[in-house]
Amino acid sequence: MYDFELPRVVDTIKREGYTRVALQFPEGLADYAAGLAGEIERETGAEVIIAADPCYGACDPADVAMKALGVECLFHFGHSPILKKTAIPVEYVEVRMDADPVPLLEEHLELLCRRVGLFTTVQHVHLLDEVRTFLEGRGFEVAIGPPGGRAVHPGQVLGCSFRTAVSVAGEVDCYLYLGSGDFHPLGVALASRRPVFALDIASGELRDMAPLAERTLKQRYARMARAVDAGTFGIIVGQKRGQKRLKLALELKEKIEGRGREACLISADLITPETLMPFRRLDCLVNTACPRITIDDAQRYRQPLLSPQELEMVLGERDWEDYSMDEF
Ligand code: SF4
């Protein structure tokens, strides 16, 4: 079902003469790690180390830690490249997923608008052309945005980069997302303010994202309302290389202090409610690290956890109607 591009991985190791390599997987693919490590060792004779710290994106390759173990090359699975410089060579294996979305789509065509924007995650970008051809054959106009932001493929979005989809908002009446999970279609719904339908290839469902988008927006406004009178703010600075926005954090601190309130910077590698538990005296937290943390984990934080854009709204620097997603 998944394509781990084993022949390419093996060829690379043999061609470059690597004797020790590492494999890094996001949580959803980690189940396959031990099996792949064994196959690679058998095929190449190289030693293989699995990098097991949690990994949520290509913003967080394990190159530095693996270099310290004498690893010559890191194979990073499940994401497209983000960082330009790494401590050792990093080979990205995007892990395409085999699927045929057309029969499922055919059952739900009546829900779509005439002009449709297509988007997906890196696992399914190879399916977009087939879906476009199918929809055009049924009389739909289809738009697929060019790569932009952190996306390297047409139609690709990441949890911190919806630009590819939003860039065609003017040409579409609704969007169709191919893939699993709610975060990416929710992000495009909030970023574009267009109807979004999510075709979940794994479960066989087509979901209208409108109810979740509305509920999420209500929750975000409730959190902002709780933060309006906050006197003390903690601004979170991520330590992962592709999530570090110190300059932005410093600007936010200055804005908060300019309004006569107090702010401090808090930096962590893994940002969790447990990491931030000791800072319970702060009235409000602002997250400049991975934007997914702000939305996905919001319920688990004691204080309101805001995005930089939401902070601007709370401080009166941005119109409350002008809600926008935090993106890199
Ligand atoms: S910042 Fe977050 S959403 Fe963006 S690539 Fe990293 S983990 Fe994924």
Residue from 82, 237, 292 to probe ligand 1 pocket by mutation (most atoms less than 8 Å from CB): 292
Q: Is the CB of 46 under 6 A from ligand 1?
A: no
Q: What is the DSSP string of 49-97?
A: EEE-S---STTS--HHHHHTTT-SEEEEESS----S--SS-EEEE--EE
Q: Which two tokens stand for residue 54?
A: 């949690």
Q: Check: CB of residue 210 under 8 Å from CB of residue 189.
A: yes
Which residue is associated with the tokens 């009166």?
316
Q: Does domain 102-208 have CATH number 1.10.3720.10?
A: no
- Residue bearing the CA closest to ligand 1, atom 2: 290
Chain CA centroid to CA 126, Å:
18
Asked if residue 297 has pLDDT above 90, the reply is no
pLDDT tens profile 259-285: 999 999 999 999 999 999 999 999 999
Determine the pLDDT at residue 311: 98
Euclidean distance between CA atoms 194 and 192, whole angstroms: 5
Ligand 1 centroid distance, CA of 94 (Å):
15
Strand, helix or coil for residue 228: coil
Determine the pLDDT at residue 41: 98
Q: Is the CB of 290 under 6 A from ligand 1?
A: yes
Q: Is the CB of 292 under 6 A from ligand 1?
A: yes
Ligand 1 centroid distance, CA of 240 (Å):
10
Phi, psi of 299 (to 5 degrees): -65, -25
Q: Check: CB of residue 261 under 8 Å from CB of residue 286.
A: no
Q: Does domain 218-314 have CATH number 3.40.50.720?
A: no
Q: Is the CB of 145 under 6 A from ligand 1?
A: no
Residue from 182, 236, 243 to probe ligand 1 pocket by mutation (most atoms less than 8 Å from CB): 243
First to last CA, the chain: 31
Tell me the chain's radius of gyration from C-alpha atoms. Answer: 21
Ligand 1 centroid distance, CA of 60 (Å):
8
Asked if residue 163 has pLDDT above 90, the reply is yes
Give the pairing type, strands 47-51 and 90-93: unpaired
- Residue bearing the CA closest to ligand 1, atom 4: 160
Q: Is the CB of 159 under 6 A from ligand 1?
A: yes
203 pLDDT band, cuts 50/70/90, is confident
Q: Is the CB of 242 under 6 A from ligand 1?
A: yes
0.75 exceeded by pTM: yes
Residue from 163, 186, 248, 290 to probe ligand 1 pocket by mutation (most atoms less than 8 Å from CB): 290
Tell me what the pLDDT averaged over the chain comes to. 96
Q: Give the up-direction half-sphere exposure of residue 219: CA atoms within 13 A in the CB hemisphere.
A: 15
Ligand 1 centroid distance, CA of 58 (Å):
7
- For residue 10, the one-letter residue type is V
Euclidean distance between CA atoms 68 and 63, whole angstroms: 9
Ligand 1 centroid distance, CA of 238 (Å):
11
Domain 2-95 class? alpha beta
Q: Which two tokens stand for residue 244?
A: 């570090």
Asked if residue 201 has pLDDT above 90, the reply is no
Ligand 1 centroid distance, CA of 162 (Å):
12
pLDDT tens profile 91-128: 999 999 999 999 999 999 999 999 999 999 999 999 99
Stretch 18-22: mean pLDDT: 98
Q: Is the CB of 160 under 6 A from ligand 1?
A: yes
Ligand 1 centroid distance, CA of 159 (Å):
6
Q: Where in the chain is the domain with CATH 3.40.50.11860?
A: 218-314
Chain CA centroid to CA 321, Å:
25
Ligand 1 centroid distance, CA of 293 (Å):
9
Strand, helix or coil for residue 284: strand
Q: What is the chain's percent helix, strand, coil content, to nearest 5?
A: 40, 20, 40
Q: For residue 86, give every residue at least 6 positions away whose Cβ sits within 8 Å of its Cβ, in sequence order, or none.
A: 61, 63, 74
- Cα dist. 94→16, 159, 253, 264 in Å? 20, 16, 37, 38
322 pLDDT band, cuts 50/70/90, is confident
Q: Check: CB of residue 177 under 8 Å from CB of residue 195.
A: no
Q: Where in the chain is the domain with CATH 3.40.50.11850?
A: 102-208
Euclidean distance between CA atoms 171 and 178, whole angstroms: 19
Which residue is associated with the tokens 């060792």?
41
236 pLDDT band, cuts 50/70/90, is very high
Determine the pLDDT at residue 46: 98
Strand, helix or coil for residue 14: helix
Stretch 21-50: mean pLDDT: 97
Q: For 139, left (φ over 0), alpha (ψ -120 to 50), or beta? A: left
Stretch 14-43: mean pLDDT: 97
Asked if residue 204 has pLDDT above 90, the reply is no
